Structure 1
Amino acid sequence: MEIRQFQTFKAVADLNSFTKAAQSLQYSQATITSHIQQLEEEMGVSLFDRLGKTIQLTSAGRELYPYTEELLMAYEKIKYMSSGEQILKGNLRVGASETMMIAHKLGSVQATYKRKYPEVQLSFVDDDCIQLRRRIHSGELDIAIVLEHKVSDPQLVVQAFSEEPLVFIGGPDLLIERIEEADGECMVFSGKNCSLRRYFESYLKKKGIGTANNLEFSSMEAIKQCVMNGLGISLMPRIRVEVLLREEKVKQLYSDEGESFFMHSSSTIETNGCRLLIRSLSNV
C-alpha cells in the first residue's frame, strides 16, 4: 500500500466524485481509478458503491475512513520533521472571491510567502463566498477569505480582520441622489451565491424599494460596465469603484442611514486543518 492511495481514497470520499478528486489532487481520472482499485485489491474489499454517476462509501469504506485520516495526519507531521526543527512543507490552498483577491493584493502575499516558506506550495482559487465555505468543508480548500457580515459555523475557525466599505453606484447621468429614490429602477446584481447580493436584496426589501428588469452578472467588471453605461444601480465594495468615482464615470448614491455600509473580511479554516501553515500565512 502507498500513502498516495490513501490520499486518493480520502479525496474521493470527501468530494464524493472521482472527477473532482482528480482535479483536486491534479491527477488524471485514470490514475484516481487505479489508486482506488489497487487499494481495494490489496484490502480485498470494495470501498465505494458505484451507482451510475453516483458513488458512496461501502461499510468497509466507512470503517477505513477514520483510520485514513489518522494516517494522513501522522504522515504530514512526519514530513515536517527535519533535524529537530519544524520546517513548513506541503500544500496550502487558499480560496477568495474576485473582490478579496484585489482588495488584499493576494498576488503580492503569495510572492512574499513563497520567499519565506519555499517548501510550501501555495495556490489561490477564485469563487463566491458560499462555494468557498462548501469547498473548505469538502477538503478542496484549507483557508478561505470571504466578504460577509458574519460567519457562524461551529466547524470553522473564523477571524475577522477588516471592514470593507460598500457604496451604491449609478450611471453618471442618473438623476436621483439617494438609494431611497430608486424605486422602480433596474438593479444590477452579482450572482445568487454572493453574500453581497444577499445583503443588497435584503436592504432593498427592508426599504420597500421595488425593482424592475434586474440584471445579474458573476463578474464585477461586467457589473461596473453596466452601471457606467447607465443600465442600472448596484452595490459594490468601494475599493472596486474608487477610480470610477474619482473620474466621475459613476456616481455614488447616498442613503438616509448614512453614507457608508460595511461588510467584514474574514478568514475561515477548518478546525482540524493546516493550523501551522495558516498561522504562518497570517504573519506575512
Structure 2
Amino acid sequence: MSCINQGLPTIVYTFGYRGKATGPATTAVLNAYISKKKRNVILLDWEEEAQSGLLGIPLGYALSAVPNAKKIGRALGDALTKMTASGVNLTDIHLIGHSLGAHIMGFAGKRVREYGNVITRITGLDPARALFEGVLAVYSGLDRTCARLVDIVHSDPGGYGISSAAGTVDIWPNYSRNGVTQPGCPHGKIHMLKQEDLCNHDRSWHFFVEALGAPTSFPCAAAESYEEWIAGNGDVEQKIYLGDLTSMRAKGNFYLNTKADSPYSMGAEGMIPNDNQTRVRRNPNFTRILRYFR
C-alpha cells in the first residue's frame, strides 16, 4: 500500500489470452495513463497463467486460461476489498481489461459485490466471446452488474468479442448489420490468430488509447439500436465520449464511425450514420470456429 497515493484515482489494467506484460496493448494503455499523471497506474500481470502451453490454443484457452482468469479476477476482488480497508476509496478505482482480461475485471467486480461493495467503473475493451456467449457459454463474465458504470467498446462483435449489449454503456464503432470489419482491417482468407486476424479485436484498445490522449475526439451518438441510428434517429444531443470522459449517468447503445488509420477520430462527423453494409466480413467458413478460442 505504500506505493499507492490514496489521494489519487487508481487505474488497474490487464490484457487477454496469450497477452504479455510488455505487449503492445499493455504498453500503450499504461503509457497513456502514466503520461496523464496524477493517477496510480497498476498492471495486473497474469502473463504466465494466460498462455496456452502444451495444450494448444483452443484447449489452452478453455481448460487453462479461462479458469485461471476467474481465479485471478476473484483474487483481485479480494485485494481491492483489502485496499478499501486500508483507506483506498472504491469510487477512485477504474478497472480496464482487453479481451479475456475484461472478464477478469468482471469477476473482480462480482467478487467485490459479495463483500457488499461496488466498483465504480469497469471498462471492457472487446470482451472475449469464447465460453462467455453463444452455445458454448459456460461462464458469466463482465456484465452491467459488475460496477456502477460498465462501458464496453465492441470492435469485433461476434468474432473474438461478445456481440451482446452487456454493459450499462455499449459503444459500437463502425458497426453494420452483417458484423464488423473495422476500416483498414483485412478481410477474406486470413490465418487465425495472426496479427491481421486480430485487427478488429485490437481496434478497441487503439481507439481507447487515442481517446486518452484526446478526450473529446471520439463522440458517440445515442440510439436505441443500430437500425434507429441508420434511420437518422440517433441523438447527438445525448452523445457521450469514448474513453475517460464516458459519463457515469449514461446508459444504452452508442454509435460512431472512425477513419481507417490513426488518428482514427472523425470528431463530430463520426456520429453521422453511415450504413456499412458493403463492408466485407472475414471468411466465415467452418474452420474459423477456432477464432472464438481467444
- Structure with greater strand percent: 1
- Structure with greater helix percent: 1
TM tier, smaller: under 0.3
TM-score, scaled to structure 2: 0.24
Point out the structure with max Rg over C-alpha. Answer: 1
